[in-house]
Structure 1
Amino acid sequence: MSSQSSRLRSLDGVRGMASVVVVLYHVSLLARPFATGRISEPAWDIATETPLKLLFAGTEAVQVFFVLSGLVVALPLLRGGASWPGFFAARFVRLYLPVWGALLLASALILLVPRDPSSVSSGEWIANANATSVDPVKLLREATLTPVSYDLVNTLWSLRWELIFTLLLPLAVVLAVLLRRWALPLAALMAVIMVLGRVAGSDAAVYLPAFFIGTLIAVRLEDLQAWASARPRRLQWSVLTAVSALLLVASWISRPVVESSSTAGQALWGLSGVGAAGLIVVAIGGPLARQILEVRPVLWLGRVSFSLYLVHAPILATLAFAFGDEHWWLVGIVGIPLSLLVAAGFFAVVEHPSHGLARRVGRAVQSLVEWVRARVVSRRVRRGPAGSSGELPSAAREPNDG
Structure 2
Amino acid sequence: MNRGDAASAAPTATALPIPTEPAHTPPPGAPTPQRLAHIDGLRAIAVAAVVLYHYGIPGIQNGFLGVDVFFVISGYVISRSLTTAHAKSQGRLRSWLFEFYGRRVWRIAPALLVMIGIVGVLFALFEPRGYASAPILWTSIGASVGVANLVLLGSEQGDYFGATTAFNPFLHTWSLGVEEQFYLIFPLLLWLLLSAGTVVARRRARLPVIVLALLSLGLAVWFWRTNPSASFYLLPTRFWELAAGALAFQAARWVDTRMRGNALRLVVSWVALAAIVASMVGVGGADSPFPAALLPVAATVLVIWFAPVERAGWGAPGRWLRATPVTWLGRVSYSLYLWHWPVIVIGLWVFGSRGPIGILVAIVAAVGLAALSYYGVERPILRSRVAHAPLRRSHWLLGGTAIALTLSIVVVIGWQHDRFSRASPISLSVTTQSGWANDRMPNQPEQTANDIAGAPRLLNIGDSHAGAYTAMVTAAAKNRGLSLTIASHSGCGFTLLAPVPTDGSCATAWEAIDSARSGDVAVFIGLRVPRIADAGELEPEYVADSPVNVASRGAAIAQFQPIARALTARGVKVVVNSPEPLFGRAPYLCEDWWFAANSGCAFPSTMERSAEVRRAGLARDSIDAVVAANPAVTVWNVFDALCPPSNSTCSQHDADGHALFVDTDHVSGWGNAAALPSFEAALDSALGPENSLRAEE
Distance 1:85 1:315 in 2: 35
Alignment match of 2:119 (pick from 106, 130, 135) = 106
Distance 1:286 1:62 in 2: 29
AA aligned opposite 2:79: A
Distance 1:285 1:317 in 2: 41
AA aligned opposite 1:101: V
- Give 1:180 shift: 5.7
Paired position in structure 1 for 2:39: 11
Distance 1:10 1:231 in 2: 16
Residue correspondences, number:
322
Distance of aligned partners of 1:320 and 1:209 in 2 relative to their CA distance in 1, 3 Å threshold: same
2:119 matches 1:143 = no
Distance 1:194 1:249 in 2: 23
Distance of aligned partners of 1:84 and 1:195 in 2 relative to their CA distance in 1, 3 Å threshold: closer
* Paired residues of 2:140 and 2:170 also in contact (CA < 8 A): no
Greater mean alpha carbon deviation, residues 151-160 or residues 234-243? 234-243
Alignment match of 1:280 (pick from 287, 298, 304) = 304
Distance of aligned partners of 1:99 and 1:108 in 2 relative to their CA distance in 1, 3 Å threshold: same
Alignment match of 1:232 (pick from 238, 244, 263) = 263
Which protein has greater RCO, CA pairs closer than 8 Å, 6+ apart? 1
- Give 1:236 shift: 3.8
Distance 1:266 1:141 in 2: 22
- Give 1:240 shift: 3.7
Please tell me the root mean square deviation across aligned C-alpha atoms, in Å.
3.8
2:215 matches 1:198 = no
AA aligned opposite 2:291: L
Distance 1:267 1:134 in 2: 28
Alignment match of 2:294 (pick from 243, 268, 271) = 271
Q: Give the secondary structure class of the aligned counterpart of 2:390.
A: helix
- Give 1:21 shift: 1.1
Alignment match of 1:338 (pick from 365, 373, 376) = 365
2:179 matches 1:162 = yes
Distance 2:136 2:270 in 1: 48
* Paired residues of 2:110 and 2:378 also in contact (CA < 8 A): yes
- Cα deviation code 1:277-322 (max 9, x no counterpart): 3343344459622101111100110111100000110011111221
Paired position in structure 2 for 1:351: 378
Alignment match of 1:84 (pick from 97, 102, 115) = 97
- Give 1:114 shift: 4.2
Comparing both structures, which one devotes a greater share of its residues to strand? Answer: 2
Distance of aligned partners of 1:366 and 1:104 in 2 relative to their CA distance in 1, 3 Å threshold: closer
- Give 1:75 shift: 0.9
TM (norm. structure 1) is 0.67
Distance 1:4 1:193 in 2: 33
- Give 1:57 shift: 3.0
- Give 1:361 shift: 4.6
Comparing both structures, which one devotes a greater share of its residues to helix? Answer: 1
Paired position in structure 1 for 2:189: 172
Name structure 2 gaps, 5 residues minimum.
1-8, 21-34, 90-95, 153-167, 224-230, 395-697
- Give 1:84 shift: 2.4
Distance 1:286 1:164 in 2: 37
AA aligned opposite 1:173: L
- Give 1:225 shift: 4.2
Alignment match of 1:70 (pick from 51, 75, 78) = 75
Name structure 1 gaps, 5 residues minimum.
32-43, 48-52, 118-126, 369-402
Paired position in structure 2 for 1:95: 108
Alignment match of 1:301 (pick from 325, 329, 350) = 329
TM (norm. structure 2) is 0.41
AA aligned opposite 1:304: V
Distance 2:393 2:235 in 1: 35
- Give 1:351 shift: 1.5
Distance 2:205 2:44 in 1: 27
* Bigger Cα Rg: 2
2:248 matches 1:222 = no
Distance of aligned partners of 1:149 and 1:301 in 2 relative to their CA distance in 1, 3 Å threshold: farther
Q: Give the secondary structure class of the aligned counterpart of 1:363.
A: coil
Q: Give the secondary structure class of the aligned counterpart of 1:167.
A: helix
Distance of aligned partners of 1:220 and 1:57 in 2 relative to their CA distance in 1, 3 Å threshold: same
* Paired residues of 2:139 and 2:151 also in contact (CA < 8 A): no
* Paired residues of 1:196 and 1:270 also in contact (CA < 8 A): no
Paired position in structure 1 for 2:55: 27
Distance of aligned partners of 1:241 and 1:332 in 2 relative to their CA distance in 1, 3 Å threshold: same
Distance 1:98 1:170 in 2: 23
- Cα deviation code 1:86-118 (max 9, x no counterpart): 22122123222211111022224435654586x
- Give 1:244 shift: 5.3
